[in-house]
Every structure is written in C-alpha cells, then in structure tokens.
Structure 1
Amino acid sequence: MRPFSAHHPPLSPLNTHHHLSLSSFATQALQLHHSPPFSESPPKKYQTEIKLISLIKSTPHKPHLLQIHAHLIRTSFLRDPTISFTLLTRLALPPLRDLRYSRQIFAQIPTPNISHYSAMIRAHSVSNDPTQGFYLYREMLRRCVRSDPVVSSFVTKCLVKIPSLFGGLQIHARVLRDGYRLDSLLMTTLMELYSSCERFSDACKVFDEMSDRDTVAWNVLISCYSRNGRSKDALGIFDVMRSLRCEPDDVTCLLLLQACANLGTLEFGERVHEYLIERGYEDSHNLCNTLVKMYTKCGCLEKAYQVFKSMSNKDVVTWSAMISGLASNGHGRDALEAFGEMQKMGVAPDDHTFTGVLSACSHCGLLDEGRMFFDLMKKKYGIAPNIHHYGCMVDLMGRVGLLDDAYKLIANMRVKPDATIWRTLLGGCRIHGCVDLGERAIEHLIELKAQEAGDYVLLLNMYSSAGNWEKVIEVRKLMKEKGIITTPGCSTMELNGGLHEFIADDISHPRKHEIYEMLDEIGKQLKIAGYVAEITSEMHNLDPEEKQTRLTYHSEKLAIAFGVLSTPPGRTIRVAKNLRTCVDCHNFAKILSSVYNREVIIRDRSRFHHFRDGHCSCKDYW
C-alpha cells in the first residue's frame, strides 16, 4: 500500500477550515519525534507512545485521525500494538464507526493480536455485517491467537444477529473447553444466542449453570419465557428476583409489561407500574409507550389514557399505540378522532399508525372511511400499503358482505398474499355463509402449505350452519387423515395475583364443584331473562338438546362463573381467550352483564368485547 502523505490523506478535498485544523494536529504529531521510533531510547519512545495515544483518543473528528494515521505509517509507529489498537478502536466503533477504513488499518498491522481482533469483531457485532465478525474469529483461531471471554462474547453477539445455531454451538463448546463458564457476561450472551435461535430450553440450561446471575441475565431469561409463549412464567420471575435482592431495572419492567399485555393481566401490570414509579422510571419514554400498550391490551382504556395524557413528548409510537388500543376496544370513532388530533399536533403517521386507523374502520364497519384512509395513506403520505393494511381492508369488506370486492382486492395486491389474508377472507365467508368462496380461500391456504386447524374449523362452521353434514363429516375425516388437531379453547382470568386457566368442560380447577354450581345457577337466571342457547355455534350433528349441553361449559363461561363466584358484586370481570368467542358465549356475556349488573370484558383472538347493561362494545359486529 502506498504510504499516505501527512498533508494529503486519501480523502475528498477538504475545505480551508478543515485544512487549517488538520495542520495543527499534524504539527502536534510531527513535534513528537523526527526519526523512526525504534531508533529512539526506550524512555523517549515510551513518552512518544503516550503522547500519540492521548492525541488519538482526544482527536474529535475523523479527518484528524486520518491525518494521524498517515503520519503513523510514515514513522512506523503503526507497528506498535497499543497505538494501532487505539487508532483501530477509535475508527471502528461509535461515534465514528467506519468499518471499511478500519479493515484497511487492520490489514496494515503485521501481526494482529487479540486486542485488534477484539476491536474488529466488536465493531461487526453492532454493524449490519455481523457475519464478517465470525469470519474474523475463525481467522484469529487459524493464526493461533488464543481467544478470551471478551472476544467470545463479541463473536457470540455477531451470531445472535445472524442468528446461527451451528456457529453458536461451536463457540459454546470452545467456551466450555477453555474454562470461561464463570464469566457471567459471556454466559448471558450465550443465552441471548440460544433465544434468538428459538432454543429456549438451552438458554434456560445456560442460566441454570451460571454461578453469578445479575439483572441482565434475569432479563434475558424473562425474554426467553416471553418468546416461548410462557409469559405466565415470566411474570413469576419478578418476585423471585426481588426475593434474591436482585432489583429489576427498566428493561425488566419493559419485558414484564409486554408479558402482561400478552396475558391481559391487569393487576400484575399495575404492580409493575407502581414499581417503576418507585424506582424513578416513570419518565422513561419507552416505558410510557409500553404502559399505554399494556393498558389497552388489558382492556383498561382509562389508565392507558392517563399515561398517554401525562406524556409531554408524544411521538408516532405513542399516538399509534393509543389509536390501535381504541380500535381494538371497540372505540373506532374515537380512534379516528385521535388520528385527526395527531395530525393537528404535527406528528407524521407511519405504517403502524395506518394499521390502527384501518383496523378502527374494520372493527366498526366504516367502509367509506376505510377506503378514504387507504387512499390517503398512499396519496398524501406516500406510504405503500403493506400486508397488514390490505388485511384490514379485506376484513372490512368481508364484514360488510363485499366478499367479491375483497377477493378482487387480494388478486390485485402489490404484495404477495399470505396465509393471514386468505384466513381473513375465510372469516368473512363464515360470517355471511359464503361456502364457495370459503372453499377457494382454503385452497389458497393449501397451496401455501399454511392451513391450520382453525381454518378447517371455520369451514366446518360454514358447513354446519348450512346444514351440510356430509361435508362436515368429509372435512373431519380429512383432518383426521392429516393429523390436524384443533387448539382447545382456553380462557384465563387473573385474581389476586394468580392466573386461573379454564378449558371447555374443565375439571382441573381446585374449586370446580363451586364453579359448576355457580354456572348452573347463572344459567337459570339468564333463561328467566330470555337467554336461549345459540345452537348453531355447535358444529356436531347432534339433536338440539345435546348441542345445548355441549355449549354450556365453554371455557369463557367457566371463567365468568369463577369471576362471579370469587369477586364482590359490581366488580369488573376480565377474561382473555386464545380463540374467537362464539356467538352463544357472546350472547351469554351480554345478558349476564345486565342480570348481574357486572361489566364483563373478554379479549378474544381478534378484539375486545366490553359487555355492559346487556350490550357489547362491538355492537354484535366481530
């Protein structure tokens, strides 16, 4: 490589101001010595090194560093490992972060040591090219440069970003061989790697083997439970941490609030909210945004709005969370008003905002408004519709019965239809009993190899509603042949910090006898008020009495009965269900809210239902 000129580094032409500034830095460097460094006496050489390192660390701008680099090449000081490492670190890492140039410097180092490799691997671990970090690690080993816990941690971070289980297993084996398992930072990074590869049990094993578990390690464990669908276990960690005097931090609170949102556990979410206020985290913007999402996903719009209103700096994430929360809780008009207010405040919407707006139109059947916002998104804000926006429009058209229009929209989409789009159309076909189009939607799902048990259940529902029992038998036979097992309906209810789970005809709850007695009593009271079981919700070819019996003990009815049994009169009953609530359970909850003077909030797979005084927030449109 041709040596750089001390006064003419390989950069684009500099303006006069920069040139003058560079000259002063070059002068400082030139004043350090006038002969090659290795001809100096050791004390003088050491003093020169100290001054050069200090100069490199204090230089604020990249052009100045390039000027120093040129001088180091001319004077052979780049051979000094400490000086070359200092320069490499300054250019490879933030705030300068020039990986291309750093690689050139690295290539000029005759025998890079572990510090040089560490700097480069670290730089790649926070870049868009983490694979190169792994390649550098392998090169380091080939050159017989021994690894250490720090380098192992950085290369593991590279693999987290890829993610690469095979590479991670190699690193883990070498970590065990080299005896680094006592390094808590390294082991925590290995947990992150296994979590990113969805090897959650392996991440937990690493955690169990750690001798020293800090808050970061606990946070990674919480994240693994949450990503593994074990949010309930994640919540339990909060009390375990505090009992071990390992205080949760702001990241812990963020993860726990996300878990609360997934489960709909309002009481626990309120506990975390109180804790973060105690710890002084209430001004954290990310935490406040997460609080808004948590409260809306627990069906508590009042508290979500309190947090929202208290925020002084509402960004697009804040507004989008509030708009989406209003939409999913059945307040479509309020969501659109919030969108208008957002525009007045000068906050530009993004694609997530429009997903919330279009969802609001869909949930409330606002066809004209939905079409208007769909066009506005493209024309005024230049946001190309993504699969979620198309999904909202298909859902909206399907709900109001424009199934052919919905099918045409799918056919003309600019993005390839995915399983969710066809599943959304299938849901509209179920609502309106459009069997032929529903069968076509299933065919598309089969082509994508994405059909699920729930899709066949919707098809069964259409056939059973139409009284086509031959087709019902045919589909059930097909499901049996393919080994398709339906997901059982599961409803959960939080009470006094505990999470109670129910499935249809459940007999596992310790208070099962009391619950069934209460449900029978509720049934008697509701029949007096006019409740009649909606037997079309039962998809087996049975006589009406048998169908009614089957519908009696659905999971959300058991959860509601437990709520009436276990809470004082007038207390709101909150239930979360993993599937879409059926028509019969919907009618049951409506009448119960009036007869027992209770607000009942059910969060099913697609939205919230707020039952009050015999009415539902969805206006029977879901």
Structure 2
Amino acid sequence: MFAEMPERDVVSWNSMISGHASCGFIDNALEVFSQMQIAGVRPSEYTFSIMMTHVTSACYGKQIHGDMIRSGMNLSNVVLGNSLIDMYGKLGCVDYAFGVFFTMEEVDVISWNSLISGCHRSGYEELALDQFFWMRATEYSPDEFTISTVINVCCNLLDLEKGKQTFAFCFKVGFFSNSIVSSAAIDLLSKCNRLEDAIRLFEELDWWDSAVCNSMISSYAQHGCGEDAVQLFVLTLRENLRPTEFTLSSMLSSVSIFLPAEPGSQIHSLVVKLGFASDAIVASSLVDLYSKAGLVNYAMKIFSNMGVKDLITWNTIIMGLAHNGKVFKTLSIFKELVSKGAAPDNLTLAGVLMACNFGGFIEEGMIIFLTMEKEYGIIPGEEHYAPIVDLLCRAGRLREAMDVLAAMPYEPGSVVWESILRACVIHEDFKLTERVAKRMMKLVPQSSLPYLVLARAYEMRGKWESMIWVRKSMKLNGVKKIVGCSWIGIQNHVYTFNAEELQPPRGKDIYLILRLLSSEMEAEDYTDNLTKVVLRR
C-alpha cells in the first residue's frame, strides 16, 4: 500500500518506520528513514522519537542525533532532550547523556529519571545515586519511577543502609502503595539476605499484583525455597493474576531444585497454554530445567525450536549438555555458535572446557584455554583454570597442572587445589600431598578433605604423631567430616539418604515396598542380581 501511494507525507513515512521498528526490523527502519530524507520529506519530532526509541547501536544513535541537529530541531525542547538522554542511557553512552542534559535549558523529573536510569543500566551505580542526591538538592520532587530505580541501584550495590533511607522517604511521601516501589523493595531485602523481612513486607501489603508476586516468587527461588514459591504461584493463579514471562521463568528456576520433573512439566504445559513458548527467557529456563533433570533430549528439542536465541540461551544448552556428559554435542553446539558470528563469553568457554574435561580432550581443551584471550578477548578466570587443571590431573600430567597453577595471576581457589590434591594421592607424591593439604587447610579451614587426606597419608607411612596432630587440629577447628547423601523424590517430597545412616527416613516402608516389588519380579522372572544384593544389604 505504501509503495502504491501517489503522495507520501511525513505521517505515511512515520507509519512505515514505526511498523518496521516495532517488528524488530531496525535496519529496515533506518533504510526507510534514509529514503524519506532522499525523497525530500523533512522528519518530524515524532520521526526522531520513533528512531531513538528503537535504535540498538551507539553508532546509529549518534547519527540520528546528528540528523536532528542538521534538521534544525530545537534540542533544548524537554521532550526531545529527554528522548536523547534515554537513548544514550540505554546504549551505555553515559557521557553523551550528561552532555545532552547539561545543554538543556529546562529539565523536568523525566530528565532526571532518564539520567539516573541511564547510569544504573550502564553499571555506574554510585554515579546514579549521586544524581539522585543532586536531584533532591535542586528541589526536584522524585516520583515512583525515580524511587524504584534508586532502590534497584541499592539492590545491585547490596547497600541495605541506603535502601532503608529510601524506604523512609517512600513512607514519608506515600509511595509505598505503588507496585513498582514495593516490588523493588522486596528484591532489595531478598538480595541483602533479609528474606524474612521481604516476606513480612509482602504479607503486610493490602493488595497483590503481578509485579509484587513476581518479586516474592523470585526471592523464594533465589533462597532455595522452592515449595514456598510453588505455593505462592498456585495462590496467584487462584486470585486470577495472569502469570508473566518473568513469573514463569522464576517458577521454572524454583522447581528445578526438585528431583521429579513433573512440576516443571506442568509449568511447561502452562507456558504453552499462555503462548509464552517462543519467549527467549522462558525457553531458556525450560532448557535449564530439563538439563538439570537429565532430560537432555527435551532440552535440545526446545533449543532447536527456538526462533531467536541469545547468548544466555546458547550458554544454557552448552552448560546443560556438559553437565550431562554430552561432550561431543557440547563442542558441536559451540562450533555452531562461533560459526554464526556470535561472541562467546566467560560462561560459554567455562562450559566448553568443562566438556573437554569430562571427555578427556586434552588437546582441544588446551587450545581453547591458551587462545581464548586472543580469539575472544576473554581473560581466563577461576572457572576456566579449574577444568583445565583437573583435565591435566586426570590425564596424569601433574607437573603440567602445577605449571598452569604457577602461571595463574591470582591465588587459586579451593576447587583447583582439590584437583591437585586428588592427583597427588593417585600418584603417591607424599611431599606434594603434604604441601597442598596444608595450603588447603589455610585456604578453606572448614573443609574436611585436606585433613582426611593428610591423616591417611601419615597413617600409611607410619607417622603416627603427625596423624594424631592432624586429627586433633581437625577437632580443634570444629571441622566435621562431610557425609555423602542421595535424594529420591516421591510426589511433592524429597527424601534424603545419608551414607552413614543405618535406618533412613521411612526406611521400613521403603524396604517393605522393595521386597514386594522383588517378589513380583521373581514371579515374572525379572529379578536381577542388583535387586538381590540390595535386599541382602
């Protein structure tokens, strides 16, 4: 229709630009914008507003700003100025946002909000707080959006004291009945390990909506309170509060701590019913859920059917495959990611190196590790050194592992030392075992592993006094031996079986059922040796 129009005014061009931009075709929108100028149609303020809202590149943003200047737009206009500040804030160009702000003849609360939010989005949290203080000093009255942003800043800084000051201001001006402010407050208390206070605040609210319920569900999920999250989620459904993408993502994270996959499958059905199956965040959460449950084929099916995949999605499937021992598939997915021109990040390479470790791929792992800074601009961290050191130790190349350890630019963590300690025991290198174990005692004093390994090493060599010293040190420092355990999920309950427990919870019932099953299997001639061994035990 647009192509067949005999005359096109600025409204027609704006409609086409807006249509392309709202559908995600930013490059097409820029092309139409360029054709509009070639056709001699002067852009309006609304044209530039559309472009600034949807632009995703700092380069494009600066070009639009330049076009506005060339078109003679009045940039001191509050609306245009605010749009520019917001655009530069979203693109991470905080210095340009400040430049626009300081050249404006008049600013309003939206100007301050855009500046504070831009600092917050770009990671300049302290700078965001400074602007809030300046806003108050210049006698501008903040609104609910200002306060929610400031609380989110305090949340990222884990600064509960400044958060409390902001709460006090909220009560003073009556903002606490606002949904955005209340949900931000719940997030802050939760992230500052004040879950009980977050629950109390939530329960004291006279009303519920999706925002505050999402924050509370997410808080439960972050603290491992999966059952509480599920109960609240069910309650929101009964209250006819429609779940959002964020709600479903938080719920999938919560139920992933349960061993049975049924709760996750039920939420998956709800995801499909509500039409969120194509949402990237929800789909990534589903991939993570099924990967943790060991249902890798389900995870791969969801991943393959996703239309748009961001780096979080790629990382989720890579880590899921690696944890489930699908080594070749992990490396294949990684190669596919790189072939599409996407840049991997720290987590991506950590997952790939983990897969190399599980598969014993020394050459592939070392090539990726040694070239990751040059190829991808990523400096190796603890999450990269740990699998490489463990890979070399498993292959019996202890000296090479020690060389990698010596080349680390910072003090190795406990995971790296544990790999070295296990290798020392396997290769019966007593001197190195003694040195590494004592180093671990200082680094992780509450870990029982170095004490037990060193005591065993002394015992095997008849160094009884040294062995007694280790055991006394262990007792003196209050170090307790870690007991292995396993879990089994039955309906809505997860039962724990400790290694040193003679009679597990409901043990008589479990063994009774096992004997009944065994009797039926014997009748059908299905009993195997494993079942007989379990029954004898």
> Aligned in 2, Cα 1:201/1:460: closer, same or farther, shift over 3 Å?
farther
Q: Distance in 2 between matches of 1:59 and 1:382?
A: 32
Are 1:289 and 1:318, in contact at CA under 8 Å, matched by a contact in 2? yes
Following superposition, the deviation at residue 274 of structure 1 comes to 1.6
Q: Distance in 2 between matches of 1:140 and 1:457?
A: 57
> Aligned in 2, Cα 1:62/1:185: closer, same or farther, shift over 3 Å?
same
Following superposition, the deviation at residue 173 of structure 1 comes to 1.6
3-state SS, counterpart of residue 219 of structure 2:
helix
Task: Indicate which of 311, 329, 339 corresponds to 2:324.
Answer: 329
Task: Indicate which of 55, 60, 82 corresponds to 1:89.
Answer: 82
Partner of 2:387: 392
Partner of 1:122: 117
3-state SS, counterpart of residue 420 of structure 1:
helix
Partner of 1:459: 453
Counterpart check, 1:595 vs 2:530: yes
Amino acid at match of 1:453: S
Following superposition, the deviation at residue 430 of structure 1 comes to 4.6
Following superposition, the deviation at residue 467 of structure 1 comes to 7.6
3-state SS, counterpart of residue 483 of structure 1:
coil
1:203-602 alignment, distance < 5 Å: 203-312=198-307, 317-336=312-331, 338-339=333-334, 350-375=345-370, 377=372, 383-414=378-409, 416-432=411-427, 434-446=429-441, 449-456=443-450, 459=453, 462-463=456-457, 466=460, 471-486=466-481, 488-504=483-499, 511-515=506-510, 595-596=530-531
Following superposition, the deviation at residue 509 of structure 1 comes to 7.3
Are 1:184 and 1:212, in contact at CA under 8 Å, matched by a contact in 2? no
Are 2:224 and 2:254, in contact at CA under 8 Å, matched by a contact in 1? no
3-state SS, counterpart of residue 491 of structure 1:
strand
Partner of 1:43: none
Q: Distance in 2 between matches of 1:341 and 1:318?
A: 13
Partner of 2:153: 158
Are 2:459 and 2:467, in contact at CA under 8 Å, matched by a contact in 1? no
Counterpart check, 1:195 vs 2:195: no
Partner of 1:603: none
Q: Distance in 2 between matches of 1:315 and 1:484?
A: 44
Following superposition, the deviation at residue 242 of structure 1 comes to 1.9
For structure 2, the residue ranges without an aligned partner over 5 or more in a row are 1-33, 53-63, 522-526
> Aligned in 2, Cα 1:285/1:404: closer, same or farther, shift over 3 Å?
same
When the two chains are superposed, the root-mean-square deviation of aligned CA atoms in Å is 4.2
Are 1:430 and 1:461, in contact at CA under 8 Å, matched by a contact in 2? no
TM-score calculated relative to the size of structure 1: 0.65
Q: Distance in 2 between matches of 1:461 and 1:303?
A: 46
Range with bigger deviation, 405-414 or 118-127: 118-127
3-state SS, counterpart of residue 87 of structure 2:
coil
Amino acid at match of 2:82: T
Following superposition, the deviation at residue 183 of structure 1 comes to 1.4
> Aligned in 2, Cα 1:498/1:142: closer, same or farther, shift over 3 Å?
same
What CA deviation, in whole Å up to 9, does each residue of 1:349-404 have, x standing for no partner? Answer: 55434333332232233434433544565676565433222211111122233323
Amino acid at match of 2:403: K
Amino acid at match of 2:122: S
Q: Distance in 1 between matches of 2:255 and 2:112?
A: 42
Counterpart check, 1:63 vs 2:58: no
Q: Distance in 2 between matches of 1:59 and 1:396?
A: 50
Are 2:226 and 2:254, in contact at CA under 8 Å, matched by a contact in 1? yes
3-state SS, counterpart of residue 175 of structure 2:
coil
> Aligned in 2, Cα 1:99/1:245: closer, same or farther, shift over 3 Å?
same
Following superposition, the deviation at residue 494 of structure 1 comes to 2.0
Partner of 1:140: 135
Q: Distance in 2 between matches of 1:385 and 1:404?
A: 20
Q: Distance in 2 between matches of 1:150 and 1:348?
A: 34
What CA deviation, in whole Å up to 9, does each residue of 1:424-447 have, x standing for no partner? Answer: 322433555544323322343455
Q: Of Structure 1 and Structure 2, which has the larger fraction of its residues in helix?
A: 2
Amino acid at match of 1:181: F
Q: Distance in 2 between matches of 1:24 and 1:345?
A: 38
What CA deviation, in whole Å up to 9, does each residue of 1:195-239 have, x standing for no partner? Answer: 333333332232222222222222222222232233443344332
Amino acid at match of 1:89: N
3-state SS, counterpart of residue 453 of structure 1:
coil
Following superposition, the deviation at residue 410 of structure 1 comes to 0.4
Are 1:215 and 1:248, in contact at CA under 8 Å, matched by a contact in 2? yes
Q: Distance in 2 between matches of 1:391 and 1:54?
A: 53
> Aligned in 2, Cα 1:465/1:252: closer, same or farther, shift over 3 Å?
farther
For structure 1, the residue ranges without an aligned partner over 5 or more in a row are 1-16, 29-52, 73-77, 523-563, 570-591, 599-622
> Aligned in 2, Cα 1:386/1:505: closer, same or farther, shift over 3 Å?
closer
Following superposition, the deviation at residue 460 of structure 1 comes to 5.7
Are 1:59 and 1:65, in contact at CA under 8 Å, matched by a contact in 2? no
> Aligned in 2, Cα 1:435/1:261: closer, same or farther, shift over 3 Å?
farther
What CA deviation, in whole Å up to 9, does each residue of 1:277-307 have, x standing for no partner? Answer: 1111111233333322222221122322322
Are 1:163 and 1:196, in contact at CA under 8 Å, matched by a contact in 2? yes
Following superposition, the deviation at residue 488 of structure 1 comes to 4.9
3-state SS, counterpart of residue 62 of structure 1:
helix
> Aligned in 2, Cα 1:362/1:282: closer, same or farther, shift over 3 Å?
same
Q: Distance in 1 between matches of 2:237 and 2:458?
A: 53
Amino acid at match of 1:363: F
Percent same amino acid at aligned positions? 26
Are 1:324 and 1:356, in contact at CA under 8 Å, matched by a contact in 2? yes
Which structure has the bigger radius of gyration? Answer: 1
Range with bigger deviation, 502-511 or 232-241: 502-511
> Aligned in 2, Cα 1:146/1:353: closer, same or farther, shift over 3 Å?
closer
Aligned length: 479
Are 1:315 and 1:347, in contact at CA under 8 Å, matched by a contact in 2? no
What CA deviation, in whole Å up to 9, does each residue of 1:514-555 have, x standing for no partner? Answer: 236678x79xxxxxxxxxxxxxxxxxxxxxxxxxxxxxxxxx
> Aligned in 2, Cα 1:234/1:433: closer, same or farther, shift over 3 Å?
farther
Amino acid at match of 1:237: L
Q: Distance in 2 between matches of 1:197 and 1:458?
A: 35
Following superposition, the deviation at residue 190 of structure 1 comes to 1.2
